[in-house]
Amino acid sequence: MKPRVMSLAIFTCVVGFLIAPIKGIDYLYAMLSITAVALGSGAAGSLNCWYEADVDKVMSRTCLRPIPTGKLTKNEALIFGIISSFVSVGALYFFSNLIAASLLALTILFYVFVYTIWLKRKTPQNIVIGGAAGALPPVIGWAIATESISIEPIILFLIIFVWTPSHFWALSLFKFEDYKKANIPMLPVTSGVESTKKNILIYSIILFPVAVAPYYLSFLGIIYLLFSFPLSTYYIFLCYRLYRTKEAKKEKTIAKQIFAFSILYLFAIFISILVDKFA
């Protein structure tokens, strides 16, 4: 179920829910709705592991997943993923509303069919387009609370969507041999290290105005800006350091730093959203 990935999805979904203008929602139903989103995220992860079992076993990053180690069979993962998908979407519809359930169904379908099956093994832009699936949870959280979609959750969607490429391309730089061995066309494999570093820097720069946009659109206040501005600036600085580095060993070290910081960055951005809203 990829619990580490799931935890980030749940967290951003909860933030989307908590900052929404909630009107008379039953909090027990809200908790059950968030649980349904978690199950849906795990279902998508399970189906991803089912389809990618052949490449997971040859990559050091994924070789200890349940299917490569023999703890589960592919059929067991497939059945679990399908059943969990239907249960999660049905439960979200029952405990919440049609818009939220439809968004969860879209997220699962997009992650499995568009990203995993169609894009991942065919194009180095896999993570750019496929990142839309991981960016939808805050929109789902907002829809749980409001039965609608507005500009605010779309901004949160865009923050995650624009953040995703630099995050995963940094990973692909220090796991280059893994992706090459598995024949997955990540950017360093198809376009080289220098092109990847350039694209990481470009996306980090694009992320800056998107990340501070909630303040300038009067969606969030000065507390958020005091977090998002320095965090986004430092992120650009790290990516610039990587771009300027020519030594292979140092490149991998900085890429690891960017990957680790990018996770901290996204959590910090969404925590600052909560702090700003409830301070």
What SS3 class is residue 250? helix
Non-local (6+) Cβ contacts of 9 within 8 A are 37, 38, 41, 134, 137
The pLDDT, as a whole number, for residue 24 is: 67
Q: Measured between alpha carbons, how far is 71 from 64 in angstroms, rounded to an integer?
A: 10
Q: Measured between alpha carbons, how far is 7 from 12 in angstroms, rounded to an integer?
A: 9
The pLDDT, as a whole number, for residue 22 is: 78
The pLDDT, as a whole number, for residue 279 is: 85
Reading the block at residue 265, the tokens are: 């960055």
Among 255, 205, 256, smallest CA distance to 233 is for: 205
Reading the block at residue 272, the tokens are: 């600052």
Reading the block at residue 173, the tokens are: 């730089």
The pLDDT, as a whole number, for residue 23 is: 66
The pLDDT, as a whole number, for residue 26 is: 82
Measured CA to CA in angstroms, residue 199 lies from 1, 170, 195 at distances of 30, 10, 6
**What distance lies between CA 148 and its chain's CA centroid?**
22
pLDDT block averages, 10 residues each, the chain of length 279 = 91 96 81 97 97 94 94 97 98 96 98 96 93 96 95 97 97 92 93 96 98 96 97 98 94 96 97 94
Number of helices followed by number of strands (H, E) in the chain? 13, 0
Q: Measured between alpha carbons, how far is 135 from 215 in angstroms, rounded to an integer?
A: 20
* pTM (two decimals): 0.96
Reading the block at residue 271, the tokens are: 């925590």
Q: Measured between alpha carbons, how far is 216 from 22 in angstroms, rounded to an integer?
A: 23
Q: Measured between alpha carbons, how far is 232 from 115 in angstroms, rounded to an integer?
A: 27
Q: Measured between alpha carbons, how far is 141 from 143 in angstroms, rounded to an integer?
A: 5
The pLDDT, as a whole number, for residue 16 is: 96
